[in-house]
Structure 1
């Protein structure tokens, strides 16, 4: 009997199943799918998601720097190696997130959304300079810190491995896909987006993009690369490796749950 893959192991945990559900089925997502999310709340979330995406660029670059391509050419199949497959995945991640940042700006401009929207705490501070006051909120900063743990400064000891990075990558992308798939499922039958509170930004632009077949294929490939890479590690499925992967996966899900704004 074959051993379960790392992704199967992670998803089989009752605790992770509960965390995944909480991270992907919020009231924010329900209202988003129904077209009933106020544009100011959408702007606040989108502003933070853009900062997350900017940090993701550095994260993807850091993972690319960890890929060691084969030095020997065996039967001229170097480009079919696991390392090459992972590099291709990370290149897709990097090009995808740069397109996403451009997509944010274009769609925000089209629908009048504010990409420097201040959340309730910042707004209550009576800031005189909006741009100076705009910054990552607590949860976004924790996400940024997680990503930047893969990009240490010169001289710092590198403790996060490529396997750790692939766990985080898959966890974030799976949670995002599952969340917006849930939102899409909340849409009332035959409801037109023209009556949506955000003018249709979510149901006409964002949700189709975040549940597309291309994105689904990317998330599936991220899972495949993670499973394949974990399977060839000498310390997997050792207790320490499994424990760290589980801790990272749970950390991402806790952050994802908190990332969605609270709405009535």
Structure 2
């Protein structure tokens, strides 16, 4: 399928927003879970050295993770809206001028494009070193 350009409707924008936020929630939840606990010696040492990068990663990962109940609830509510919107499609009905098959294919294309953009955003391992050269 062709790359997703401009979104065709507000509903397409909702799918795009949910996909972005869901990816952030999943990715940052993994990062946050992998961080040392606040009582560990690593964290205390990092704090004593005023490691601003570690603090920023901890704060960012908390804000965008399932450990933050407000963000987790926001993503759930977006997902519920998308599910409600696609309920007729799942029953085989057309939606916004698209057949059920076309609507699902378009939503899947939006999801795939968001995943592609997110993956391309992050550098490959060691890429930062080659960019500095």
TM-score by length of 1: 0.37
Q: Which has the higher contact order (CA 8 A, sep 6+)?
A: 1
1:200 is paired with a residue of what secondary structure?
A: helix
Which residue of structure 2 lines up, in the alignment, with residue 49 of structure 1?
none
CA distance in 2, matches of 1:209, 1:226: 23
Which residue of structure 1 lines up, in the alignment, with residue 130 of structure 2?
none
CA distance in 2, matches of 1:256, 1:241: 23
Seen in structure 2, the aligned counterparts of structure 1 residues 199 and 244 have a Cα distance that, compared at 3 Å, is: closer
Q: Which runs of 4+ in 1 moved over 4 A?
A: none
Residue 25 of structure 2 contacts residue 64 of structure 2 at CA under 8 Å; is this kept in 1? yes
Which residue of structure 1 lines up, in the alignment, with residue 71 of structure 2?
215
User: Per-residue deviation at 1:214?
Assistant: 0.5
Which residue of structure 1 lines up, in the alignment, with residue 24 of structure 2?
176
Cα deviations across residues 101-141 of structure 1 (Å, max 9, x unaligned)? Answer: xxxxxxxxxxxxxxxxxxxxxxxxxxxxxxxxxxxxxxxxx
Cα deviations across residues 198-240 of structure 1 (Å, max 9, x unaligned)? Answer: 152221x222211211100000000000111122464157111
Residue 64 of structure 2 contacts residue 71 of structure 2 at CA under 8 Å; is this kept in 1? yes
CA distance in 2, matches of 1:184, 1:230: 32
Q: Which residue among 249, 252, 262 is the counterpart of 2:111?
A: 249
Residue segments in structure 1 that go unaligned for 5+ positions in a row: 1-141, 151-159
CA distance in 2, matches of 1:163, 1:171: 12
Which residue of structure 1 lines up, in the alignment, with residue 57 of structure 2?
202
1:178 is paired with a residue of what secondary structure?
A: helix
CA distance in 2, matches of 1:166, 1:222: 8
Residue 168 of structure 1 contacts residue 248 of structure 1 at CA under 8 Å; is this kept in 2? yes
Residue segments in structure 2 that go unaligned for 5+ positions in a row: 127-133
Residue 171 of structure 1 contacts residue 252 of structure 1 at CA under 8 Å; is this kept in 2? yes
Residue 163 of structure 1 contacts residue 230 of structure 1 at CA under 8 Å; is this kept in 2? no
Matches within 5 A, 1:1-264: 146=5, 149-150=6-7, 160-189=8-37, 190=40, 191-192=42-43, 193-194=46-47, 195=49, 196=51, 198=53, 200-203=55-58, 205-211=59-65, 212-232=68-88, 234-236=93-95, 238-264=100-126
What is the Cα-based RMSD across aligned positions, in Å? 2.5
Seen in structure 2, the aligned counterparts of structure 1 residues 199 and 164 have a Cα distance that, compared at 3 Å, is: closer
